[in-house]
A and B are shown apart, each in its own frame.
Chain A
Amino acid sequence: MRKRRRRVRVLVYVGLLPFVLFAVLPFYWMAVTSVKTDAETYDLRAVPFVIRHGVTWAHYAFLVQQTPFLLWYRNTVIVSLLATLGSATVAVLAAYSIVRIRFPGSDPVALGTFLTYLVPPTLLFVPLSEVVGRLHLIDSYWALVLTYPTFIVPLCTWLLIGYFRSIPTELEDSALVDGATRLGALVRIVLPVAVPGVLTTVLLGFTLSWGNLIYPLAFTASTPQKVLTVGLLTELVRGDVFYWGSLMAGALLASVPVVVAYSFFTSYFVSGWTAGATKG
């Protein structure tokens, strides 16, 4: 019996191995390319996975010193944080009121929120550029702070609706009976309990903001206004010349905050997901 269980365990790891390799291979390749010399990268006789002719930091140096990479980093952080926090606030308020207050019309509003989530950005960005233009936000990353909520708010609201529904009302009810206001109940009672769910939505919003390409493509042009995705693409692919080493270096560096955030919050993420999934 124990032998069979051990064999099953081994099989599970063996089964997972291809998945893990599949997931990780591109990142390993990114890392290797980012420190390989151009001469070796372009040398077809070399083995791609190893570095024989020395590690070079030239690609990173080029990226950091000779492109506004750090500036884009800053912009991306600002945009993502603001858009996410703003969206999360809006979403929390909206979801809570839809679920708990149940004012007349809350159902159509919930439905409307859901439907807006399904409108893809590639449909919206041309007319949106006109809206952005009228607000005189064109070519500013504030345009992104304004437009990113278009995909964060619907998603987060919908998730939080499901999540709030899963939280029993007894806690708030007793607080309300004791004279607390709805908002007070939300802030002091519900939110602390809802941390996993809210954190999940914040994390999702952050990831989506961090990696968005189309809106920055449409709404920003000046180099100092760019965020990471569009900056790397536009400054390291010029005409028919690819700066592969720096591109891979930039892609890796740009991925760090998201990975870090996930590593800290994975447990929250999974439990929040679970709750939203099973009780929503």
Chain B
Amino acid sequence: MRVVTRRDLLRYAGAAAASFVVRSSEAAGAPTVTMLYWNHFVPSFIPLLNRQVEQWARSRGVNARVDYISLPDMPARLAAEAQARTGHDIIQLSQWNAQLFRQELLPVDDVVADLDKQWGPFREPGRYLSFAEGHWYAVPWHFWSDTATINTSYWRQIGYATDNVAALGWEELAAAGARLRDAGHPVGVAVSQTGDANDGLYPLLWSFGGRTVDERGEVVIDSRETADSIEFVKTKLFPVMPREVLGWNDASNNQEMLSGVISWTPNPPSIWAVAHLRSLPIERDLDQVPMPRGPKGRFRSAYGVGLGIWRFSPRAQLAKDLVRYLLAKPQSDQQVEASLGYNEPFLAQCAANPFWKRLPVFRYYEPPKETVRVPGWPGPASKGAALTYNLFTLPLMYAKAVTGQMTTSQAIKWAEGELKKAYGKG
């Protein structure tokens, strides 16, 4: 069973320090293709990416370099580059950024077609995020998504095996949550102004049949289904959770899980990965299960990463070539391993990777049992969705209702107003 060992990590990491600073010196005077990517938290991924990029560069007789930036800083960075019309050739376009920056991006239909033919098809929500008005503005690379990380020992205490937990619906989860709370290990999902809150509550809303907008972007949040979901959170789920969830940030649930405080939380695999990488004793108690079923389906929230090329990049052809290279299956397979299974490729054939079968903790991560969607679905993946997400409209709606600041219908009406403003309808 080839799990990344600490020694591997040290080896990777040693190369990382060097590769951060070394620029390919062989092809002096040749163009340098630059790429912007996020600071992946799995230490082994970055040196692998650097290596792959360098291999490609050497084979083409050019230079290439990847720069890393923290995820929250990405929007500012992209904004600055778009504004100044200078920056990296290839940029990571997460979520709605492909459509937000559409006007400054080079259409990449040809690259998408090539990859589709070789390794396709592209899974959803790849096309949803990257395709608009007849063109592809990003090449969907990989995503990560929120299953629920659980502490199996606490669930066992109340008589649930992992596969039982995997079959739970929301109502049953809340009921079990009450017992877990009494045992001192509550469940927790963020109801605060943070990404985790969006990523946990959108699937909840969807699974109750609620939608923020419809396919055309019309605001449809005011519905019986939405009200049902709010009532559920207000009367069944929130009371069994620690009150702190109202102030959680993205790392809060990780830390509470790693310290044995909570027993269930929606999150990408970072919790398990950290326990594994830092050899924390709690690792053996961690597992991942699908998000709970609702009356109208079972959903999971995804964070999509695509690669785009600025329209003003003088090295567009080279950039496209690098993108093709990085998304090809041989490279993709290495990336899945090096990211500890965190990165789920959009290309179907790349997603057929035995890695996730090898580690039991990933058996529910890939392939997903839930319907994988991006917040803002089914409306267009652009400005309105981004604004709503970044202003945390949905979590705020729930927060206002559960804290009693507003009644359920008031909260819905408030959210409706905010959504209309975001989608430019009022």
Contact = CB atoms under 8 A, between A and B. Distances in A.
B79 interface: yes
A175 interface: no
Interface in B74-101: 76-77, 79-81, 83-88
A138 B87 contact: yes
Contacts of A136: 86
Nearest to B144: A239
A126 B254 contact: no
Contacts of A38: 278, 280
Given A39-B280, A130-B83, A217 B43 contact: no
B21 interface: yes
Which of A67, A126, A235, A241 gathers most chain B CB within 10 Å? Answer: A241
Which of B86, B261, B282 gathers most chain A CB within 10 Å? Answer: B86
Nearest to A134: B84
Given A42-B259, A235-B39, A237-B70, A218 B76 contact: yes
Given A129-B83, A217-B76, A234-B70, A44 B20 contact: no
A126 B78 CA distance: 12
Interface string A128-168: 01101110101100000000000000000000000000000
A242 B250 CA distance: 10
B270 A126 contact: no
Given A136-B86, A218-B76, A234-B39, A66 B13 contact: yes
Interface in B265-290: 267-268, 270, 273-274, 278-282
A237 B20 CA distance: 17
Interface string A224-257: 1000000001110111111000000000000000
A39 B281 contact: yes
Interface residues of B, number: 50
B17 A66 contact: yes
Contacts of B160: none
Nearest to B36: A221
Contacts of B281: 39
B77 A240 contact: no
B72 to A, nearest CB: 8
B270 A138 contact: no
Given A66-B13, A68-B20, A130-B83, A240 B69 contact: no
B86 A240 contact: no
B203 to A, nearest CB: 17
Interface of chain A, main secondary structure: helix
B39 A242 contact: no
Interface in B15-64: 16-17, 20-21, 36, 38-41, 43
Interface string A62-83: 0001111001000000000000
A238 B86 contact: no
B19 to A, nearest CB: 10
B83 A126 contact: yes
Given A133-B84, A221-B67, A241 B274 contact: yes
Given A138-B80, A219-B80, A238 B39 contact: yes
A241 B83 contact: no
Contacts of A221: 36, 67, 69, 77, 87-88
Contacts of B260: 44
Interface residues of A, number: 35
B73 interface: yes
A66 B21 CA distance: 12
A263 interface: no
A71 B68 CA distance: 15
B85 A133 contact: yes
A218 B83 CA distance: 12
B69 A234 contact: yes
A67 B259 CA distance: 26
Interface string A35-70: 000110011100000000000000000000111100
Contacts of A278: none
Contacts of B280: 38-39, 42
A130 B279 CA distance: 46
A142 B250 CA distance: 33
B302 interface: no
A239 B281 CA distance: 22
Contacts of B21: 68, 71, 224
A235 B273 CA distance: 17
A223 interface: yes
B76 A239 contact: no
Nearest to A66: B13
Nearest to A230: B73
Given A39-B281, A241-B41, A126 B79 contact: yes
Interface of B: 13-14, 16-17, 20-21, 36, 38-41, 43, 65, 67-71, 73, 76-77, 79-81, 83-88, 196, 250-251, 253-255, 258-261, 267-268, 270, 273-274, 278-282
5 contacts: A38-B278, A65-B17, A237-B251, A242-B251, A242-B255
Nearest 8 Cβ contacts at the A-B interface: A133-B84, A238-B41, A234-B70, A240-B250, A241-B41, A129-B80, A222-B67, A66-B13
